Amino acid sequence: MTTNRRGFLKGSAALGAGAMLAGSGLTEWARAWAQGAQWKPEAGAKLQLLRWKRFVQSEEDAFMKLVEAFTKATGVPVSVINESLDDVQPKASVAANTNQGPDLFWGLYSLPHLFPEKCMDVTDVADYLGKKYGGWMDSAKAYGTSKGKWIAIPVGYNANIINYRQSMIEAAGHKTFPGDLGGFMDLMKNLKAKGTPGGFALGRASGDGNAWVHWALWAHGGNLVDKNDKVIINSPETLKALEYVKELSTHFAPGTASWNDAFNNKAFLAGEISVTNNGVSIYAAAKAGADKDAKLKEIAADMNHANWPVGPVGRPTEFHICYPMLGMRYSKFPNAVKAFLAFTMEAQNYNPWLEGAVAYLSHPLNAYDANKVWTSDPKLTLCKDAGRRTLLAGHLGSVGEKAASALADFLILDMFAAVCAGSSSPKDAIAVAERQARRIYR
């Protein structure tokens, strides 16, 4: 990734100015912003935004303050609909097909690439923000653009990292979380033997399930497609990945075959598992409840986070969740949509929001490296670089409609789940995935 130093310094200066302006009140700053902004909402404009349901209450609180400030400044009411993570994509697809529904969708991964022609061109917004805030990270550019234009604004990432109990991994013979696959397997085996197992979602979990099985596939050198989008899933590397995860799953806590994105949070906070993958929402919830619940206080003090182990490919193969926000072309209020997107990413709004998200969300614009959340707690610092470390949906192949379809259809996750459940042999599961992939990439 290349960063324009002059642009970064300009963005950093904007951050500092934002901190000073925020002291005079967000509403006052917002009104001044609206008067000077290049996007003037249409007369009578009103917006509806469908977003994923929050995992961290303070994140939602900060976001709704932002929404309130936008409405006070522009006179544009914004209705926010909260849906479960798994429901955003199908509802967005229906809206795209029928040309009616919310003006904006805030989804995950490469959602806008499922229907790029139905997404509003927001290149002017992206250019404005990139110039002001030190440039976009490379992965944000990939997720936000299609055929040379921006079709969405990548608002942030959820760093999908290892969450673990320090005391329990030490009891299982590991002072630090293993950085290699052999050590990871040994830890999981020992944790189960100690009665403190780990667990990873194998149900159709759009975030956590997709993230960890793709890590496993890529860590072994397996890929769905090559750089030309040719299907290459049927490979010795894929077979090795499936065999590894099959063995790993024998050490999981019961029930992971049906886990969605909420189950591992609940299991960890209930003390049923000692290791899982997630954002830092588990830690945030434990800290938030620590004053009233001694068990949560103990968990928060004992928790830590780690990056995923490195496999035979010899480099990180993490898959962090990008959260793009997109405006629909059918919206009657495109200027209001663009104004809201730009307003959201301004330092006066985005900095408090990042802090409210307590590192559950990380940033796509380089200048936000300076946000104080990254130095507020050493257990959160590794989340800062999620946008730089992540591989993309499609990985070697394109980030487009086909990669988005493969994710939406849970092609890779279902392959791993079938093997772990014993309902399919690795070779048969690969054959099914290959047939599905060939239909998508034909």
Is the pLDDT at 16 greater than 70? The verdict is: no
Residue 116 CB neighbours (<10 A): 19
The residues, any chain, with a CB within 8 Å of residue 304's CB and separated by 6 or more, are: 164, 166, 177, 379
The residues, any chain, with a CB within 8 Å of residue 19's CB and separated by 6 or more, are: 347, 351
312 lies in the same domain as 423 = yes
Kindly state the average pLDDT of the residues 215-220.
Answer: 98
Q: Which helix (H) or strand (E) holds 256?
A: none
* Three-state DSSP string of 296-342: HHHHHHHEEEECCCECCCCCCCCCCEEEEEEEECCCCCHHHHHHHHH
Query: Would you give the DSSP letter of residue 111?
Result: G
Least confident of 2-11, 139-148, 266-275: 2-11
**Distance between CA atoms of residues 419 and 159, nearest Å:** 27
Task: Give me the phi and psi of 275, to 5 degrees please.
Answer: -145, 135
137 lies in the same domain as 211 = no
pLDDT range class, residue 18, cuts 50, 70, 90: very low
**Distance between CA atoms of residues 62 and 408, nearest Å:** 29
Q: Which of the pair, 6 or 154, is modelled with greater confidence?
A: 154
Is the pLDDT at 43 greater than 50? The verdict is: yes
Q: Domain containing 109: what range?
A: 5-157+323-370
Is beta strand 161-165 parallel, antiparallel or unpaired with respect to 275-278?
A: antiparallel
- Asked, for residue 174, whether it belongs to a domain, the answer is yes
| This prediction's pTM | 0.89
282 lies in the same domain as 355 = no
CATH number for 301: 3.40.190.10
178 lies in the same domain as 134 = no
pLDDT tens string 265-323: 999 999 999 999 999 999 999 999 999 999 999 999 999 999 999 999 999 999 999 99
Least confident of 15-19, 155-159, 238-242, 250-254: 15-19
Half-sphere exposure of 341 (CA within 13 A, CB side): 35
33 lies in the same domain as 123 = yes
Question: In Å, what is the CA distance from 58 to each residue of 62, 280, 349, 353?
Answer: 6, 13, 14, 9
**Mean pLDDT, the chain, integer:** 93
Q: Which of the pair, 108 or 2, is modelled with greater confidence?
A: 108
Q: What is the reported pLDDT for 20? A: 36
Q: What is the reported pLDDT for 419? A: 98
- Asked, for residue 386, whether it belongs to a domain, the answer is no
pLDDT tens string 200-217: 999 999 899 999 999 999
Residue 364: closest CA among 322, 307, 313: 322
133 lies in the same domain as 35 = yes
Share of the chain above pLDDT 70, in %: 94
Is the pLDDT at 11 greater than 60? The verdict is: no
Q: What is the reported pLDDT for 3? A: 38
Q: What is the reported pLDDT for 86? A: 82
287 lies in the same domain as 275 = yes
Q: What is the reported pLDDT for 216? A: 98
Kindly state the average pLDDT of the residues 95-122.
Answer: 96
- Asked, for residue 280, whether it belongs to a domain, the answer is yes
- Asked, for residue 263, whether it belongs to a domain, the answer is yes
Give me 211's structure tokens. Answer: 């993230």
- Asked, for residue 41, whether it belongs to a domain, the answer is yes
**Domain stop point among 309, 343, 370:** 370
Kindly state the average pLDDT of the residues 13-18.
Answer: 41
pLDDT tens string 234-269: 999 999 999 999 999 999 999 999 998 889 999 999
Kindly state the average pLDDT of the residues 326-341.
Answer: 98
- Asked, for residue 109, whether it belongs to a domain, the answer is yes
Kindly state the average pLDDT of the residues 44-72.
Answer: 95
Q: What is the reported pLDDT for 210? A: 95
Give me 17's structure tokens. Answer: 């100015």
pLDDT range class, residue 13, cuts 50, 70, 90: very low
- Asked, for residue 382, whether it belongs to a domain, the answer is no
Number of domains making up the chain: 2
150 lies in the same domain as 222 = no
DSSP string, 358-406: TTSSB-SBGGGGG-THHHH-TTTGGGGGHHHHPPPTTTTS-SSHHHHHH
Question: In Å, what is the CA distance from 351 to each residue of 182, 238, 250, 344, 370?
Answer: 40, 41, 43, 10, 9
190 lies in the same domain as 229 = yes
- Asked, for residue 222, whether it belongs to a domain, the answer is yes
110 lies in the same domain as 203 = no
54 lies in the same domain as 69 = yes
Is the pLDDT at 389 greater than 90? The verdict is: yes
Whether the Cβ atoms of residue 87 and residue 319 lie closer than 8 Å to each other? no
214 lies in the same domain as 314 = yes
- What is the chain's length? 442
Kindly state the average pLDDT of the residues 126-151.
Answer: 97
